[in-house]
């Protein structure tokens, strides 16, 4: 398995040609993406061809909508890792540039997919669009494949409780604090990764020393207190997570504070991945520090309970995945 970075006008390496491909942003690599990529692998194995997926970097919206600045659900590195974990032979990162986005739909099909990448088949979802001003759609793609006698498979969306799984719906769930719904759609707990910096030390004074997470490149859930977990050096720890300001101390700066239950050691300067399991409550102002201390103790107890329940489920990362998503 390998990853490649290419410009659209480059010819792909010989061993990528003649493959079964899927193209998309794949932000989050959620259950819908996983189902689609699994179909790519199934067709490729049946036909004896490479299974290839292509993703774009940066996101095309950065060129099409200059005011667009939404953080992704996963970093590019994690996106590639999770795409390869679906069984693909190769993942190609296509460098997004204005000249690519100006290609008309038929021009993209003929000059890029046929001549340069020499695809043998395409697997996409029903809402797939491409080409200048997104004028190409899934019907355009299927007709083109039929003319060239190429495989075309339109994979139906994955639904949960009657709701279509999508990156947009996951984003909406997270911005509403519903990390449990996001986890169901992702097929795993939502996670963020950042560097541990310095804080005010108030948590230590209350008996709950926190690690302050900074430089997070992905979407943050809404302000609140969450139960979560951290995988650190091969061991999993329950984590009580606070996102937001600290109004009890008149602190208006939005922070991410993580208290690791049972952890002994120094984390300053380390990079930490934090998994969200459940939302416990909103951020509140307490009349005095002692009331806040009592609430944190209750949050910590509930976090331990939720962590213990989640560890027993098949969705919790174990073994190599836990190691890969820790330090």
DSSP symbols for 156-198 = PPPEETTEE--HHHHHHHHHTT-HHHHHHHHTS-EEEEEEEE-
CATH topology of domain 2-160: Rossmann fold (3.40.50)
pLDDT digits (tens, 9 = 90+) for 34-77: 999 999 999 999 999 999 999 999 888 887 887 778 999 999 99
Residue 172, pLDDT score = 97
pLDDT digits (tens, 9 = 90+) for 134-174: 999 999 999 999 999 999 999 999 999 899 999 999 999 99
**pLDDT exceeding 90 applies to what percent of the chain?**
72
The domain locations on the chain are 2-160, 189-324
Burial code (b: 16+ CB inside 10 Å, e: under 16) for 131-147 equals beeeebbbebbbebbee
Residue 191: what are its φ and ψ, rounded to 5°? -140, 150
**What is the maximal distance between C-alpha atoms in the chain?**
73
Distance between CA 228 and CA 190 in Å, rounded?
Answer: 10
**What single string gives the DSSP state of each residue in 48-99?**
T--EEEEEEES-THHHH-TT--PPPSS-HHHHHHHHHTTT-SEEEEEE--HH
Distance between CA 125 and CA 167 in Å, rounded?
Answer: 13
Q: Does residue 206 or residue 280 have the better pLDDT?
A: 280
Structural contact between residues 311 and 226, judged by C-beta atoms closer than 8 angstroms: no
**CB-side neighbour CA atoms (13 Å) of 322:** 16
Q: Pick from 36, 43, 3, 42: which is nearest to 22 by CA?
A: 36
Q: Pick from 196, 168, 199, 215: which is nearest to 265 by CA?
A: 196
Q: Does residue 290 or residue 220 have the better pLDDT?
A: 220
pTM assigned to the model:
0.91
pLDDT over 50 at 2, yes or no:
yes
Give long-range contacts, CB 8 A cutoff, 24+ apart: 286-289.
Answer: 286/248, 289/206, 289/248
Residue 12, pLDDT score = 84
H-type alpha helices, the chain: 31-47, 61-64, 76-84, 98-101, 105-107, 138-147, 167-175, 179-186, 202-205, 289-311, 319-324
Cis check: omega of the bond before 144, within 30 degrees of 0: no
Class of the domain covering 189-324: mainly beta
For residue 206, what pLDDT band results from cuts at 50, 70 and 90?
low
* Exposed/middle/buried for residue 127 (C-beta within 10 Å: 0-12, 13-18, 19+): exposed
Residue 200, pLDDT score = 59
Distance between CA 73 and CA 190 in Å, rounded?
Answer: 8
Tell me what the mean pLDDT of segment 16-26 comes to: 96
Tell how strand 159-160 and strand 163-164 pair up. antiparallel
For residue 318, what pLDDT band results from cuts at 50, 70 and 90?
low
For residue 317, what pLDDT band results from cuts at 50, 70 and 90?
low
Burial code (b: 16+ CB inside 10 Å, e: under 16) for 159-189 equals eeeeeebbbebbbebbeebbbebbbbbbbbb
Tell me what the mean pLDDT of segment 71-91 comes to: 96
Distance between CA 30 and CA 170 in Å, rounded?
Answer: 9
Name beta bridge partners: 129: 137
pLDDT over 70 at 204, yes or no:
no
Q: Does residue 177 or residue 205 have the better pLDDT?
A: 177
DSSP assignment letter at 13: P
Residue 320, pLDDT score = 42
Residue 199, pLDDT score = 61
């Amino acid at each position: 398995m390998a990853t490649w970075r290419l410009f659209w006008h480059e010819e792909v390496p010989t061993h990528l040609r003649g493959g079964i491909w899927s193209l998309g942003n794949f932000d989050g690599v959620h259950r819908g993406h996983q189902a689609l990529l699994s179909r790519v692998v199934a067709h490729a194995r049946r036909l004896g061809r490479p299974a290839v997926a292509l993703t774009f970097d940066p996101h095309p919206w950065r060129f099409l909508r200059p005011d667009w600045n939404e953080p992704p659900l996963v970093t590019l590195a994690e996106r590639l890792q999770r795409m390869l974990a679906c069984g693909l032979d190769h993942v190609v990162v296509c460098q997004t540039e204005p000249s690519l986005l100006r290609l008309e739909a038929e021009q993209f099909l003929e000059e890029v997919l046929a001549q340069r990448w020499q695809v043998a088949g395409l697997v996409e979802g029903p809402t797939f669009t491409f080409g200048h001003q997104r004028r190409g759609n899934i019907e355009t793609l299927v007709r083109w494949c039929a003319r060239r006698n190429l495989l075309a498979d339109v994979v139906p969306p994955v639904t949960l409780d009657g709701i279509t799984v999508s990156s947009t719906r996951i984003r909406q769930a997270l911005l509403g604090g519903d990390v449990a719904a996001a986890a169901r759609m992702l097929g795993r707990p939502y996670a963020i990764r950042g560097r541990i910096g310095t804080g005010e030390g108030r948590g230590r004074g209350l008996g709950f020393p926190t690690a302050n997470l900074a430089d997070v490149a992905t979407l943050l859930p809404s302000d609140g207190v969450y139960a979560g977990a951290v995988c650190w050096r091969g061991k999993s720890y329950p984590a009580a997570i606070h996102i937001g300001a600290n109004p009890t101390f008149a602190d208006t700066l939005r922070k991410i504070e993580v208290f690791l239950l049972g952890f002994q050691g120094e984390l300053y300067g380390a990079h930490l991945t934090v998994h969200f399991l459940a939302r416990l409550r909103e951020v509140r102002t307490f009349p005095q520090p002692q009331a806040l201390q009592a609430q944190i103790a209750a949050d910590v107890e509930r976090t331990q309970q939720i962590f213990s329940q989640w560890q027993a489920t098949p969705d919790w990362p174990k073994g190599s995945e836990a190691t890969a998503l820790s330090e």
